[in-house]
Amino acid sequence: MGGEQLEMSESFSEQEIVRRQKLARLKELGIEPYGEKYQVTHFAADVLGRFASLEGQPVLLAGRLMTIRTHGKASFANLQDESGQIQIYLRLDDLGEKSYQIFELLDVGDIIGVSGEAFRTRRGEVTLAVKEFSLLAKSLRPLPEKWHGLTNVDLRYRQRYLDLIVNPEVKKVFILRSKIVQEIRHYLHEQAFLEVETPVMHTLTGGASARPFITHHNALEMHLYLRIATELHLKRLVVGGMDKVYELGRIFRNEGISTRHNPEFTSVEIYQAQADYLDMMILTEQLISSVAQKVLGTMKLTFQGRELDLTPPWPRLTMMAAIKQFAGIDFNEIMTDEAARSVAVERGLAIKPGMLRGEVMNEVFEEFVENQLFQPIFIVDYPLEVSPLAKRKTDDPSMTYRFEAFMACSEIANAFTELNDPLDQRQRFEQQMAKREAGDEEAQMLDEDFLHSLEYGMPPTGGLGIGIDRLVMMLTDSPSIRDVILFPTMRLRD
C-alpha cells in the first residue's frame, strides 16, 4: 500500500488521492463502486412539481451528488438528475450504521440511486427522506468548486461533459437546440418535403465556395473530400423526380475558427421543383418564425441585449441598394472592373489584382453592410461572379436570382432560383476551374456527372440552405457558435 500511495501522490492531486482511498475502502466493505442500472420511478422535477400527490409515497431517483452537508448522525445533500436538483436527507437511524458509514465515503460528483419519501422541511423545502441508497458510479475527480459561465471558456468547450454537469444553463441551450431541429423537421414534413441522405464523402468538391478537407480511401486508392455542401446531390434528386427534398446534416469546410465559424457545422438544404427564390423567401421567413413560435412561444427575441423581431414578412433590399444605403457607394455608376477595384481600395479594402466588379461588390457588402443588418432582412440579387449555381436575372444578366437572409448582423440563409441550363452551368464551372488553377482553393470543381444529370432536364427549382448553428445562436441568445455546438473544434494544447 505504501508503494501504491507514493505512486498516487506523484500522479494525482490530494483530493484525487483521497477519492481513490475511499474507492479502495468501499471495495473492502464489499461495495461495488460502479453498480448496475437503477430502477427510477421519478425525476427531481416530478417530486418538486407534484409534491402534493407524492408526499409520503415511495420515490426512486438517480442522479449526481452536487453538495453534501453532514451534521453528525444526519446529512443533507443535493441530488441532480436530467430534470434538475432536489434536496435529500439521510439519517443514521433510517439507514443503519453500515449504510450510513458507506454514505460517509461518498463525495460530491458520485452518482447514486435513492429510495425514500418526499416531505417538507421546517423551512418549507421539498426534500426526499432516503431509506435506502445504492452507489452507481464513484467519481474520482472533484467537480469545480466555482463555475461562473464564461470565466473559463476554453475549459468549458474542451470538457463539455463537465460544463453540462455544473452549468444548468448550458444544458438548456442544447435541449432547445434539439427542439429547434425537431421543429424544423416537423415543419418541412407538414409541407410535404421528403428528408433524404446523401454522401458525406465526395469524389469532387462542389456546391459552395470553400476549401475542403481531403481524406484517402485505401481500398479504392483515391482521394475523397468531406462535403462542403449537399447541393449538387440534392439537385440530382430533383432531376430524378423527387420534387420536394431536404437534407439536415453535417457540413465540413477547411476554414478559420471564429465566434460564427466552426470547421464542421450543421445545415439544412431544401429544394423544391416549380419554385423560385421568391418562394424560398416565403419558406425561409415562415419556417424560422414558426420554429421560434413553437419552441420559444414568441417571435420577438432578445439577442445580446437587443430585440430581434422575426415576425413575417421580412423586408427585401437588393445588394446594390444596400451598399448604396449603408456604404454610400453606387455600383450603378461603377461599370468596370478597374473602377470597382479603385473605389474599394480607396475605402481601405485589400482587393486582389484582377478581381471582377461583382466580386468587389460582394467584398464591399461584407465589409460595410453585413454588420448593420440586425433585424431579419433578405438581401437579394447577387452578382453573377459570386453565384456560380444561381440563374441569371433576365433583366440584368450580370446579376442572379439569389438572396441571403441576415439577422443579428449574420448570414443565416442562402438561396437561389437554381441554374438549370446545363450549357450555362458548364461555362460557369469552367470559369471556376480557371480560378482554381490560378490558385483559388475555394473555387468549385467541374462536376461532369452533375452536368450530365442537368442535360436530362431539371425543372425550374428553388433551393435554400439555412445554417442551423447560427439560427440556434439567435434563438438561444448565444454569442458564439461554440456555445451551441456540443463539441466544437479546438486547437490542440501545447
- Angstrom distance (rounded) from CA 419 to CA 277: 11
Q: Write down how long the chain is.
A: 494
In the sheet that holds 201-202, the strands lie side by side as 201-202, 222-226, 214-217
Confidence of residue 149 (pLDDT cuts 50, 70, 90): very low
pLDDT at 151: 59
> How distant, in Å, are the alpha carbons of 80, 101, 171, 451 from that of 95?
21, 9, 33, 74
pLDDT for residue 144 is more than 90:
no
Give percent of the chain above pLDDT 70. Answer: 97
Query: What cell numbers appear for 468 in the block?
Result: 442551423
Q: Tens digits of per-residue pLDDT, 372-397?
A: 999 999 999 999 999 999 999 999 99
The string of pLDDT tens digits covering residues 289-337 is 999 999 999 999 999 999 999 999 999 999 999 999 999 999 999 999 9
Q: How far apart are CA 133 and CA 135, in angstroms?
A: 7
Whether 158 shows a pLDDT value over 60: the answer reads: yes
pLDDT confidence tier of residue 72, bands split at 50, 70 and 90: confident
Dihedral sign for Cα atoms in the order 187, 191, 192, 193:
negative
Phi and psi angles of residue 389, each rounded to the nearest 5 degrees, phi first = -115, 5
Q: Do domains 2-137 and 166-315+375-483 have the same CATH topology?
A: no
Residue 359 has pLDDT above 80, yes or no: yes
Which tens digits make up the pLDDT trace of 160-211? 999 999 888 999 999 999 999 999 999 999 999 999 999 999 999 999 999 9
- Which of 86, 138, 139 minimizes the C-alpha distance to 116? 86
Phi-psi label, residue 131: left if phi above 0, alpha if psi -120 to 50, beta otherwise: alpha
pLDDT score at 215: 95
| pLDDT mean across residues, the chain | 94
pLDDT at position 201, please? Answer: 96
pLDDT band for 358, please (50, 70, 90 cuts): very high
> Percent of the chain beyond pLDDT 90?
90
Cα→Cα distances 104→20, 88, 107, Å:
14, 14, 8
Decide if pLDDT at 147 tops 50: no
Read off the DSSP letter of residue 208. S
At residue 271, the pLDDT reads 98
CA dist 170 to 176, 291, 477, Å? Answer: 10, 20, 12
pLDDT, one tens digit per residue, over 79-96 is 999 999 999 999 999 999
For CA atoms 298, 304, 307, 310, give the dihedral sign.
negative
The structure's pTM equals 0.93
Q: How far apart are CA 74 and CA 76, in angstroms?
A: 7
Show me where the domains of the chain are located: 2-137, 166-315+375-483
Dihedral sign for Cα 320, 324, 327, 328, please.
positive
| Contact predicate 205/445, CB 8 Å | yes
CATH topology of domain 166-315+375-483: BirA Bifunctional Protein; domain 2 (3.30.930)
CATH code, residues 2-137? 2.40.50.140
Q: What is the pLDDT of residue 11?
A: 84
Can you tell me whether residue 128 is helix, strand or coil? strand
